[in-house]
Amino acid sequence: MLKKYVYFPNIYTVFYCIFAFLKKIMSDKQVKKNWFVVYTKPRHEKKSAALLQASGVEVYLPLRKELRSWSDRKKWVEMPLFPSYLFVNILHEDFKKVAGSYGIVKFIYSEGKPALIREEEIFAIKKIAEMPSNIAIEVSDDTLNMGDEVLVRKGPLAGLKVKLIEFKGKSRIAVEISNLAKTVLVEMDKSYLS
């Protein structure tokens, strides 16, 4: 008579199978990074950005060249477009890593959740930061009465939809960064707009 043996896998085999199954599920799922805003200590933007990049985090610090004058000289220096703010492109698991980095004070929250910045807004900020230094750019916390939405036909912001406004007596275009509660104002020739 033949004896039937029942195979009982040991605990390591069971855990290995479960781990392999979970790994397969996670690799099939599209894990997407998102852009978030962090607030830094004053004048720590460049150092914090460099340290985050060194630790493998994708960081964007928009800089503009400005002419600064001292009593004995004038010099072009790179200044942050948004003082004390950095944009980080991370997964939710990386929040603690970023929050614990040197110079980082906190994540910016909007409606009780970390402020998520859309890819289009990051693209617009990059285009604005790359504009020549002779074009007047102003970052405003003021609430603005926005006008008609227009398309920029030529120039560094070509292809972007922006809002045309009148601000401080001058005609400007406004690019809103909604979850940051900031508006970037750019003085632009009306011939560039449609």
Residue with the two structure tokens 């997407």: 32
Look at residue 7 in the predicted model and tell me its pLDDT: 57
Q: Are strands 104-107 and 63-69 parallel, antiparallel or unpaired?
A: unpaired
Look at residue 141 in the predicted model and tell me its pLDDT: 72
Look at residue 87 in the predicted model and tell me its pLDDT: 97
Sketch the domain layout of the chain as residue ranges. 31-117, 133-194
Please list the ranges in the chain whose pLDDT falls under 50. Answer: none
Centroid of chain to Cα 143: 21
Asked if 124 and 145 count as a contact pair (C-beta separation under 8 A), the reply is no
Look at residue 2 in the predicted model and tell me its pLDDT: 57
Q: What is the DSSP string of 127-161?
A: HHHTS-TTS-EEEE-S------EEEB-SSTTTT-E
Distance from C-alpha of 137 to C-alpha of 134, rounded to nearest angstrom = 9
Specify the CATH class of 31-117 in words.
Answer: alpha beta
Look at residue 176 in the predicted model and tell me its pLDDT: 74
Asked if 63 and 158 count as a contact pair (C-beta separation under 8 A), the reply is no
